[in-house]
Chains A and B, each alone.
Chain A
Amino acid sequence: MTTEPRSEITEQPSSATILAPGHTFATVSDKIGSIVLARGTRFGWLVGFTLSFCLLMVLLVAVSILLMKGVGIWGINSPVGWGFAIINFVWWIGIGHAGTLISAILLLLRQTWRTSINRFAEAMTLFAVACAGLFPLLHMGRPWFAYWMTPYPSTMGLWPNFRSPLVWDVFAVTTYGTVSALFWFVGLIPDLATLRDRSKSRAARKAYGILAMGWRGSAAHWHRYEVASLLLAGLATPLVVSVHTVVSFDFTIGIGPGWHSTIFPPYFVAGAIYAGFAMVLLIAIPLRAVYGLQDFITVKHLRNMAKVLLATSMIVCYGYMMEAFFAWYSGNPGERFMILNRMTGPYAWTYWSLLACNLVTPQLLWFARVRDSVPALFVISLIVSFGMWLERFVIVVTSLSRDFLPSAWGMYYPTRWDYATFLGSIGLFLTLLFLFIRFLPMISIFEMRTLLPEAEVEDHAGH
């Protein structure tokens, strides 16, 4: 199909719109589809993919050495047995939650601005869950026995301990990964059909054709499709809250100082959305610049996400305040010592850096000029992502390194393999993301069509 002239499309739409004026069904389909179907590869993509792939190889080396030598290559030891592995697990799974929030909760709330960001945010969820799942497996020491966590009739005659939050985690994270993948794939089916019908090469037509499963846009199919999407959104919404609640149970069910607290589930869920929105911004800003998607991911999107970032930062900071308040108000010497140790102990710098990143920095978002500045949003998102990682470091390490018994205290020093595994997981995430951008439409084409004014049906029979 020949491409219609696009000269009338405003490349820099006014800040109040979520889609630049001038687009039609055809231009929306062609612009998003052509990113995937275009022959040749962009130089920027190649550079980004190469760097990510190098980081992925760092992960491969780190994991190979880990499997050869055991978890002793990491800095974990008694009393801090949960080092980077658990910090990274909680960080990654939290990042994933923004994708589900955007795709499910904002769908139920009829927030149409989510349309252009939900696809890659869902992909982000999927890849973040993949990175998250890696860490508890590696932390087991003998990952080849991971299946012992599942209930199956074994010759040992044993069952997993269903009263343990670690087993709840297995169910929560596998369910979350499965449902996220289903939700993502269901959203892709109509767009895969578009790619099937538009691709010129035989191989691409075959591949997209198999994945599209013969989708033909029948009204009866769309009707059921919409019902299924709504049901999935309704199911994913409580799921996303439950997953991070269960993750927080890993801490709260234990009696460690600073962990045994009722504020943890809501505070973890808010922190997850906070970190996740920062990551969505970190991905959206370069994507729209490199692929010229300013007419789809407009200033309004960035502004809305900045507001979500600010709101969730306030909830998270309420959590930090309440942690300190509970410690004082409980009168429990262990809890009081924990908060003083966080503020003045050997890891005090991590606590104050975390407050600088997560409490002070996002206050800049109160200013409309900062919310409208793309570079400022990128830098703030980077700082928030780092701050949320530090938060998990503070929770895991300060409580474990100094608990109730001074004779059992000990410091935690991460080794270079800890850092290598963490950086490597970022490589895995970015590699998957680059492959996704190259081979699948990063913006939901069919949902973008529904945003167009011409999608409206004029309400009079006949014309």
Chain B
Amino acid sequence: MPGTETPVYGLMAEFTDTTSIVAAARKAHDAGYRRMDAFSPFPIEELGEALGYHTRGRLPKLVLAGGAAGCLLGFALQYWCSAIDYPLNVGGRPLNSWPSFIPITFEMTILLASLVAVLGMLALNGLPRPYHPVFNVPEFRLASRDRFFLCIEASDEKFDPGTTRSFLEGLSPGHVYEVAS
């Protein structure tokens, strides 16, 4: 974009090993930065903790709700069909023959819980999202191979182009990149 005020999404530091990215994320968190994210080619538990993700979040509760809904729906479907909408007397046997409704109730529980687990994970992560400013850094494509990145966003209260850059450079990264918005 032309002009002196190029909108900047943030500053991004590149690291080559797990120990330094975790240490960097910890230091940035300690320095008071909050609107930031780290990127790695595989899950690193310590990295999430360094950025302040200590709980399991909302997903397990959503999955439990999905499972409960599947369970109720599955049983209600069979009960309504067999006992209310089309009651068929087979030798005087009970219409609500609940033991034979268990397998389908169970399968529906698992089905809905799994769908919520996957769709919920994607939705909470804001995916699919084909475009994201971090992709503007050409080197970022190594984040899916062997590099680790820490990105402090310009929207952070403490963000200042000069001091944040020198803070990141103080973490001894390979490079510091400016992420175009």
Binding site for B on A (CB under 8 A): 1, 24-26, 29-30, 151, 157-160, 162-163, 165, 167-168, 171-172, 175, 178-179, 182-183, 185-186, 190, 193-194, 196-198, 209-210, 213-228, 231-232, 235-236, 238-239, 242, 246, 249, 446-447, 449-450, 454-458, 461-463
Contact yes or no, B125 A171, CB < 8 A: no
Contact yes or no, A168 B56, CB < 8 A: no
B162 sits at the interface (CB 8 A) = no
A183: which B residues are within 8 A, CB to CB?
A: 114
Contact yes or no, A162 B78, CB < 8 A: yes
Binary per-residue interface labels of chain B (19-63) against chain A in the complex, 1 for a CB within 8 Å, 0 otherwise: 110110111000000000111111111111001010011011001
Contact yes or no, A163 B97, CB < 8 A: yes
Docked complex Cα distance between A100 and B97 (Å): 31
A224: which B residues are within 8 A, CB to CB?
A: 57, 59, 121, 124-125
Contact yes or no, A194 B111, CB < 8 A: no
- Measured CB to CB, the closest approach of chain B to A153, in angstroms, equals 9
Contact yes or no, A186 B118, CB < 8 A: yes
- Measured CB to CB, the closest approach of chain B to A152, in angstroms, equals 11
- Measured CB to CB, the closest approach of chain B to A209, in angstroms, equals 7
Interface of chain A: mostly helix, strand, loop or mixed? helix
- Measured CB to CB, the closest approach of chain B to A431, in angstroms, equals 27
Contact of B107 among A26, A172, A449 (CB under 8 A): A172
Contact yes or no, B43 A235, CB < 8 A: no
Q: Which residue of B lies closest to A231 (CB)?
A: B117
Contact yes or no, B48 A219, CB < 8 A: yes
Contact yes or no, B132 A190, CB < 8 A: no
Given A198-B145, A220-B37, A221-B125: A190 touches B42 (CB 8 Å cut-off): yes
Docked complex Cα distance between A84 and B122 (Å): 41
Docked complex Cα distance between A63 and B39 (Å): 50
B141 sits at the interface (CB 8 A) = yes
B134: which A residues are within 8 A, CB to CB?
A: 216
Contact yes or no, B121 A193, CB < 8 A: no
Docked complex Cα distance between A29 and B145 (Å): 6
B143 sits at the interface (CB 8 A) = yes
Most chain B beta-carbon contacts within 10 A, residue among A216, A242, A446, A462? A216
Given A162-B81, A217-B144, A227-B121: A457 touches B44 (CB 8 Å cut-off): yes
Contact yes or no, A231 B63, CB < 8 A: yes
Docked complex Cα distance between A184 and B114 (Å): 12
Contact of B103 among A24, A194, A215, A246 (CB under 8 A): A246
- Measured CB to CB, the closest approach of chain A to B72, in angstroms, equals 15
Q: Which residue of B lies closest to A239 (CB)?
A: B110
Docked complex Cα distance between A236 and B117 (Å): 12
Most chain B beta-carbon contacts within 10 A, residue among A1, A186, A209, A227? A227
